[in-house]
């Protein structure tokens, strides 16, 4: 599952990392509390030309008459993305990468409170989360693909976002033939840095600032 993440790397650096042409509508960075329904930077590929472009996080199926016509769809399950009517076409022909500097997950405290934890890559590089997208009217919208949790989730949740390594980006973006389904798997051991607890302020979608990712143990 992925319900909140950060993007602290500059858009210019992301464009260079992914070999993409940056759009002129990219959301400002850094953002330490990226929430659903907000515009986020994504990477797509059209005939081999990669673009870094803004999309709305929250997939809108073609049959929605308004953005609130049904549930807010922020994740697509790897196990069913190829068969769910909302995603069947998108997983075949509209896959994207979602750059993220890290993401949050929550555990339950002794009083039932939500305790946030922060995850990053162990190598400090940006993550490339697997996504699928859909144009709804004149809005490009997306969902982040999730899969069963691997060891790196430290037992905090039974789902995690699909994190793609650089060698797999061409296949996911449709530049290297078929077989993208094989990439939808738990993150390999050692890719994620051990998570650490952060302040509960991030539980609010209005919270801002770099202190949100400061370790409580620091």
- pLDDT tens-digit map of 104-133: 999 988 888 999 999 999 999 999 999 999
Average pLDDT, the chain: 96
DSSP conformation class of 193:
P
**Residue from 96, 181, 109, 100 nearest 140 by CA:** 96
DSSP H stretches of helix in 63-158: 88-93
* CATH fourth-level superfamily of 5-184+194-199: SOS response associated peptidase-like (3.90.1680.10)
Measuring CA to CA, which residue among 126, 104, 106, 122 is closest to residue 33? 104
- Cis check: omega of the bond before 30, within 30 degrees of 0: yes
Q: How confident is the model at residue 218 (pLDDT cuts 50, 70, 90)?
A: low
Q: Which whole number is the average pLDDT over 188-203?
A: 96
pTM higher than the cut 0.75 = yes
Residue 137: band (very low, low, confident or very high) from pLDDT cuts 50, 70, 90: very high
Q: Give the whole-angstrom CA distance, residue 21 versus residue 53.
A: 8
Task: Give the largest Cα separation in the chain, rounded.
Answer: 53
pLDDT at position 154 is 85
pLDDT in tens, 34-74: 999 999 999 999 988 999 999 999 999 999 999 999 999 99
CA angle 205, 209, 211 (to 5 degrees): 105
Can you give the pLDDT at residue 120? 98
Q: Residues 3-28: what's their mean pLDDT? A: 97
- Cα 104 to Cα 212: distance, rounded to the nearest angstrom: 10
- Looking at the chain, the whole-number percentage of residues with pLDDT higher than 90 is 93
Structure confidence at residue 1 (pLDDT): 65
Q: How far apart are CA 16 and CA 11, in angstroms?
A: 9
Give the span between the Cα atoms of 192 and 103, in whole angstroms: 11
């Amino acid at each position: 599952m992925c319900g909140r993440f950060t993007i602290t790397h500059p858009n210019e650096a992301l464009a260079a990392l992914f070999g993409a042409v940056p759009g002129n509508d990219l959301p400002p960075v850094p953002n330490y509390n990226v929430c659903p329904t907000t515009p986020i930077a994504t990477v797509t590929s059209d005939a081999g030309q990669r673009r870094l472009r803004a999309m709305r996080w929250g997939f809108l199926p073609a049959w929605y008459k308004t953005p609130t016509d049904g549930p807010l769809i922020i994740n697509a399950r790897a196990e069913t993305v190829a068969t769910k009517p909302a995603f069947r076409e998108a997983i075949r022909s509209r896959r994207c990468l979602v750059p993220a500097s890290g993401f949050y997950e929550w555990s339950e405290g002794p009083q039932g409170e939500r305790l946030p934890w922060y995850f990053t890559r162990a190598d400090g590089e940006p993550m490339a989360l697997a996504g699928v997208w859909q144009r709804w009217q004149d809005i490009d919208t997306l969902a982040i693909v999730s899969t069963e949790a691997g060891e790196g989730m430290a037992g905090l949740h039974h789902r995690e976002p699909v994190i793609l390594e650089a060698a797999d980006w061409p296949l996911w973006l449709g530049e290297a033939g078929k077989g993208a389904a094989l990439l939808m798997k738990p993150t390999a051991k050692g890719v994620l840095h051990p998570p650490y607890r952060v302040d509960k302020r991030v539980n609010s979608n209005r919270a801002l600032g770099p202190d949100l990712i400061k370790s409580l143990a620091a």
